[in-house]
Amino acid sequence: MAFRPLHDRVLVKRIEEEAKTKGGIIIPDTAKEKPQEAEVVAVGSGAIKEDGSVRTLDVKKGDRVLFGKWSGTEVTVDGDELLIMKESDILGIIEN
């Protein structure tokens, strides 16, 4: 199934953090927090401005982004757990 978000929404997949600390301690799943870093899977066509024109989004497919702890709505698409959120919920793009 193909999924394309509407307007200024973005579909992201969380990037899982390492299950072990630098010191070698393994962190159990129950003690982990959900990561706030994700890869953009799909983006909408853009935000509609008051004059009716469309502003393209700053993020694109493949970008690594940071988002707020309580941002987005969890959805399952083709068996993958993803988040859909507005572009404004994204705090920034991680550049290498």
Rounded Cα distance between 25 and 5, Å, is 39
Q: In this structure, is residue 56 part of a structural domain?
A: yes
Give how far the C-alpha of residue 86 lies from the chain's centroid of Cα atoms, to the nearest Å. 9
Domain that residue 55 falls in: 9-16+32-93
Q: Per-residue b/e over 26-40, b at no fewer than 16 CB within 10 Å? A: eeeeeeeeeebebeb
Is there a domain that residue 25 lies in?
A: no
- What does the DSSP assignment read for 4-53? ---TTEEEEEE-PPPSB-TTSPBPPGGGPPPPSEEEEEEE-S-EEPTTS-
pLDDT of residue 64: 93
pLDDT at 31 over 60: no
46 belongs to a structural domain: yes
Please report whether residue 4 resides in a domain: no
Amino acid at 60: K
Q: Find the CATH number of the domain harbouring 51.
A: 2.30.33.40
45 inside domain: yes
What's the domain count of the chain?
1
Cβ contact 41:53 at 8 Å: no
Least confident of 23-27, 29-33, 58-62, 85-89: 29-33
